[in-house]
Amino acid sequence: MSAYESFPRDIAKGIKILVLDVDGVLTEGHVTMTDSGDEIKNFNVRDGHGIKMLQRTGIEVAILTGRKSKVVAHRAADLGIQYLIQGSLRKADGLKDLCAQAGISPEDCAYMGDDVIDLPAMMQCRLTTAPSNAHSSVLSKAMWVSDAKGGAGAVRQLCEGLILANDGWDEILSQAYGVSPQDCGW
């Protein structure tokens, strides 16, 4: 069964915020460093467009990452992501802080993570998801696994699933772009 067919629409209905890890989810998991110590990360523009479409449905997006990076802050600002928690090595605590800031509970959250550091926060959320190339421990705990790898469309596929589950497809995709769920694999 494909990820399109197995997406848990009933669980995804009513999600208020999508929480994303960065390395291995929004990126392929590679970190390039320059001689001056600056980081270079590659972000997928289709994932970014998925985030923007999801935000138009009223579902917020948050970034919760264990690393600290100016590049991530720039990407979050570029995408209009207001909830950014960096340097969170105890992601369960980071999720608690995020929920307090947003005025929601973990039950209102969907989470996409790819490694063991994500599990304590991920397992508190209503919907747990992972890219196809996540660590095996994360794959075994995820309710839904994307057909795509991290940094290569996994976030886009998740955003589309959330849009569809929350009745936003007609307004966000059909009217604006003339595409049906079937046109996009759903």
Domains annotated for the chain, with CATH where assigned, are 14-174 (3.40.50.1000)
Rg of the chain (C-alpha set): 15
Lowest mean pLDDT among 31-45, 106-120, 145-159: 31-45
DSSP H or E segment with residue 130: strand 127-130
- Give the tokens for residue 81: 């992501």
Q: CA-to-CA distance for 77 and 167, rounded, in angstroms?
A: 27
pLDDT reported for residue 124: 98
3-class DSSP state for residue 120? helix
pLDDT tens digit string along 57-106? 999 999 999 999 999 999 999 999 999 999 999 999 999 999 999 999 99
pLDDT tens digit string along 140-169? 999 999 999 999 999 999 999 999 999 999
